[in-house]
Amino acid sequence: MSNLLTVNGLTKQFGGVLAVSDVSFEVNKGEIVAVIGPNGAGKTTLFNMISCFMPPTKGEVHYKGTRLTGQKIPNLAPLGISRTFQNLQIFENMTVLENVMMGTHVKLKTNVLSAAFKLPRVKKDEKMAFEMAMEVLKFVELEDLMFEKAGQLSYGMQKQLEFARAIVYNPEFIMLDEPMAGLNDTETNRMAGYIQRLKNKGTSFLFVEHKMATVMELADRIVVIDFGKKIAEGTPDEIQRNEKVIAAYLGEEAV
């Protein structure tokens, strides 16, 4: 497998608190990597540093040879990187279709001037955005609700909608922050199926998740952090047998 993302020595200190300490790992092309750990272990802080929402105190991240650390957030999408959030970031007063079309801007060429003068490019881009959105809505099984207001959807469907918007421009690398949080078993299995289907097409994933059964089934490799430090990395089978992991996090649930 060819390397896609390299996390090298990421460290974050808030005053006297060391939230993340010298964490390093890689994500390869076409691979699903999960980050797990107890509450307060530093997972979200690590995730935010990787996705440029927070600068590290030390360390850096590279994506396909490009240094991500220090990049502005809008620069990530053109590089082929997408991200979802633990707290939903949808536009509740917009329709399902409009929400997903918002995510197509990376692929469009319309600028403010051409939009203002209704140049032919605008109509072409609108058609492209609609077609891209519809393809993804069919993928996540929301096409029948395309004209519903996003705020009227169930929580599980809103999660599907956020996922749809994250994948609509066909990113190569997707970061998911607790994609299964708040979902029932049926919804969890559905979301896992979407991720697996995209992985089979070559998409790479890095995700944080608390549902251990899903992590063990879905991830190719797992990175475990505790008190901000990486304590283990390996396949699901290796992680389930790791005594440090069992003591810190998994307990009898994974035995």
Mean pLDDT computed over 221-241: 94
Ranges 43-57, 90-104, 114-128, 219-233: which has the least confidence: 114-128
Please check the confidence at residue 176 and state whether its pLDDT lies above 90.
yes
118 lies in the same domain as 148: yes
Q: Is residue 128, in this structure, part of any structural domain at all?
A: yes
Q: What is the pLDDT of residues 23-35, one digit of tens each?
A: 999 999 999 999 9
175 shares a domain with 251:
yes
The residue range of the domain holding 27 is 1-80+171-255
The total of structural domains in the chain comes to 2
Of residues 11, 241, 209, 20, the one with CA closest to residue 232: 241
Antiparallel, parallel or unpaired: β 81-83 and 32-36: unpaired
Q: What is the pLDDT of residues 74-98, one digit of tens each?
A: 889 889 999 998 778 788 999 999 9
- Summary count for the chain: helices (H), strands (E): 10, 10
Distance of CA 50 to the CA centre of its chain: 11
Mean pLDDT of the 1-25 span: 93
Phi, psi of 157 (to 5 degrees): -70, -35
pLDDT band at 115 (very low <50, low <70, confident <90, very high): very low
* Strands 58-63 vs 17-28: parallel, antiparallel or unpaired: unpaired
**95 and 149 Cβ atoms separated by less than 8 Å:** yes
**194 and 233: one domain?**
yes
Report whether pLDDT(193) > 50: yes
Tell me, yes or no, whether 242 and 176 share the same domain: yes
87 inside domain: no
Residue 68 and residue 4 in one domain:
yes
Comparing 202 with 126, the larger pLDDT belongs to 202
pLDDT for 1: 61
